Amino acid sequence: MQYFVTGATGFIGKRLVKALLARKGAVVHFLLRRESEGKVAELLDYWGTTKARAVPVFGDLTGKKLGVSAEDLKSLKAAGIDAVFHLAAIYDLKADAESQIAANIDGTRNVVEFAKAVDAGHLHHGSSIAAAGLYEGVFREDMFDEAENYDHPYFNTKHESEKIVRRESKVPWTVYRPAFVVGDSTTGEMDKIDGPYYFFKLIQRMRQLLPPWFPAIGLEGGRLNIVPVDFVVACNDHIAHSKADVKGKCFHLVDPIGYRVGDVLGIFSKAAHAPKMSVFVNAALLGFIPKSVKKGMMALAPVRRIRNAVMKDLGLPEDILEFINWPTRYDRRDLDAALKGSGIECPNLNDYAWRLWDYWERHLDPDLFIDRSLKGTVGGKVVLVTGGSSGIGLAAAHKFAEAGAITIICGRDQDKLDEACKEAKAKGYSFVAYPADIADMADCDRFTQLLVANHGGVDFLINNAGRSIRRAIESSYDRFHDFERTMQLNYFGCLRVTMGLLPSMAAKRKGHVVNISSIGVLTNAPRFSAYVASKAALDAWTRCASSEFADVGITFTTINMPLVRTPMIAPTKIYQNVPTLSPEEAADMIAQACINKPVRIATRLGIFGELLHALAPRVAQISMNTTFRMFPDSAAAKGDKSAKPQLSPEAIAMQQLMQGIHF
């Protein structure tokens, strides 16, 4: 038999052509744009055939008679085309109306004209259940004009294209209405994100945030009908070659079961090893709200911006929520009759959902195509690390420079800066070092002006320079300067540098600020009132700034850093036996802050401390007071530099238990 196929390079068409070529003596002519001629070799390899049996016909779906030359039309007519399969269309809820009209409506009309021009024996039209619109109730295969609520461009163009076939085709026709087509039930293979795949990113986020045993809340709605591509192809192939009379008939290629939205989410959550959705909120409950009210609410700028941000983050089409309460069910009695005795059955979604998920996560997940490496993030960018001559700052500077960033470090000690630069040079890269005292406001201004003049500002700012003081309040009555100098560096100095660089970031509409805070802000660590207060002030300012600059392209990350073994904690001898992070581990946290740009990075212990203070403040106070009395001031804090720390067995056990918390 001689076949002509449009959409042969598409997801369904490519597989249908392979099925047709499996028939003895079959020759498939397929429509191909001239600029896609380079795809022919790959297609022939996929089909396992030659040009003698798979013949490209150059043209364009949007051209009259498919833009096929008069010579090719004559040749095809002479060959005797037994069947035309029209599968070329835009199957995408995100596509704009203009492109859908051109492909789905105009393209179908051109196919109808083409089929007549070559005297084709039969026209097999690939429609969709969308042709029924959002019909309330059961939509039968013999129904068409009864369709309703098909205002959406995709629904409208699928309805109108089927109407053209029904009313304008001079060639006998058959219509196929597949449901939401997903990947192959045996391999999981899919070519794009569409239909239920839009929810996969949401499920993945749930898996990342919650343990698998955690009961999650899901969304309940109407019934979504999902079918794998191999089932759709098998139905097309079988019915087109059936001995039964299929002229003028329509077949619903649907799952006989059909699953509610909540069931679909649950099935794929199980496949993804994500939290099971145990409680469902029925989206239909919102149906009582008049459309005018909902439209008015969505017109409000804050609501619209939040909605758009969430939808964009999850990769969801703007109007997908309109289809949650899908009201239509599909009768398939004609399909059942046509498939009787063929052995063709729609696989159960529960049996192949894991294959779909696995293929998506390995090949289609949008995050796979984002360079999440530090080099991809900061390569060629200007990164400033304050306090970069030692400790955490120096370790982070090495990571940035190694990743190809223009790494700027600053510090008060020129000798330390020189030593850091020498160390970097020995490793094969370089630092740009500036002497600067972040505690001096005038020097901060000089420094930031110099950075703007020499480098055009910075792309990443790591506010790492800081001062820590471990001393009880009762030992600080006559040391108010401890609070002043801590606040001067940790808060005012940090702000001075940040605000000096923000204008250049705002002008470029991009930039990221990482503020090194402390776990003590979350746990309210005693003996660190000066240090924690300065970092808490910085955290509060950051939260305000992040809201103000959210629409300017400037983002902020606060790292509530646990205890790190640096020169800053050296005077406190008891920390010699306390489990701490290495500067390199702390630098890894800073790198992740730059790559992923989260609002906050904190350890589980820090978050637990914050929750405890929020939910049971008295219990938290008693716990922290116990540690306060258990761990005395250091000898340095008392002014005695010779004394050795004396810890009770209980204190030693406690410090091992509460790793990384400041005592």
Residue for token digits 């309460």?
325
Residue 471 near residue 530 (C-beta atoms within 8 A): yes
Tokens standing for residue 267: 């099935």
Residues in contact with 299: Cβ distance below 8 Å, sequence separation at least 6, in sequence order: none
The catalytically annotated residue of 3, 352, 531, 575 is: 531
Q: What are phi and psi of 596, to 5 degrees?
A: -95, -20
Residue 229 near residue 181 (C-beta atoms within 8 A): yes
Q: Report strand pairing: 277-282 vs 216-220.
A: parallel
**How far lies 128's CA from each of 30, 224, 453, 575, 577, in Å?**
21, 13, 60, 68, 69
Q: Which helix (H) or strand (E) holds 353?
A: helix 349-359
**How far lies 443's CA from each of 109, 334, 418, in Å?**
73, 82, 19
198 is catalytic: no
Residue 29 near residue 4 (C-beta atoms within 8 A): yes
**How far lies 233's CA from each of 4, 50, 180, 329, 424, in Å?**
16, 22, 13, 22, 61
Residue 559 near residue 593 (C-beta atoms within 8 A): yes
What is the rounded CA–CA span in Å between residue 301 and residue 463? 33
Residue 470 near residue 637 (C-beta atoms within 8 A): yes
What is the rounded CA–CA span in Å between residue 183 and residue 438? 57
What is the rounded CA–CA span in Å between residue 535 and residue 291? 48
Residue 56's closest CA among 94, 6, 102?
Answer: 6
Residue 268 near residue 354 (C-beta atoms within 8 A): no
Q: What are phi and psi of 28, to 5 degrees?
A: -115, 120
CA angle in degrees (0–180, nearest 5) for 586-587-593: 95
DSSP character string of 439-455: T-HHHHHHHHHHHHHHH
Residue 634 near residue 572 (C-beta atoms within 8 A): yes
What is the rounded CA–CA span in Å between residue 648 and residue 509? 55
Residues with catalytic function: 531
